Amino acid sequence: MIALGCDHGGYALMQEVIAYLEKEKIAYKNFGTNSEESCDYPVYAKKVAHAVADGECDKGILICGTGIGVSITANKIKGIRAALCGDCFSAKATREHNDANILALGARVVGVGLALEIVKVFLETPFSKEERHSRRIAQIEQ
């Protein structure tokens, strides 16, 4: 189950992400926002971060204008490793190396085509489980 959240700046791109998830038959839970009316990104970033941290959802996708606000907010929640990605290399590496559990996207930074490729890579790439990466991830929380 993928937790989804965005602000007004990410709303349009989130509709594209939802269409992609539905096409691929990937289950999701949408925590809003549900329109392009101005809103506060921390509200939605916290909902998604808690859903992932509590185990209600396996991973999350957060979108705001830059992706920065939602990633900063999500990373305040214990157990969350939110990665702001603007390219597929980073999306793959953050899954393999950081076991990132939330993908943050900047709707005003990346186009729809690239964003959906990033989503695909992020969701399909497993954590490497290599000892050095597990060790470093454990150090994040210490």
Note the residues at the interface with ligand RB5 (CB under 6 A).
7, 9, 41, 64-66, 68-69
What distance in Å separates the CA atoms of residue 108 and residue 3, rounded to the nearest whole number?
21
The answer to whether the peptide bond before residue 125 is cis (omega within 30 degrees of 0) is no
Helix (H, G, I), strand (E, B) or coil at 28: strand
Q: How far apart are CA 11 and CA 107, in angstroms?
A: 8
Catalytic status, residue 57: no
| Residue from 6, 39, 57, 64 carrying the catalytic annotation | 64
Q: How far is the CB of 64 from ligand RB5 (least distance, A)?
A: 3
- The angle formed by the CA atoms of residues 93, 96 and 99, to the nearest 5 degrees, is 105
Smaller CB separation from ligand RB5, 31 or 99: 31
In the complex, least distance from residue 68 CB atom to ligand RB5, rounded to whole angstroms: 4
Question: Could you tell me the smallest distance in angstroms from the CB atom of residue 88 to ligand RB5?
Answer: 21
Q: Are 100 and 94 in contact (CB under 8 A)?
A: yes
Q: Is 97 a catalytic residue?
A: yes
Q: Which is nearer to ligand RB5, 48 or 99 (CB)?
A: 48
| Residues with active-site annotation | 64, 97
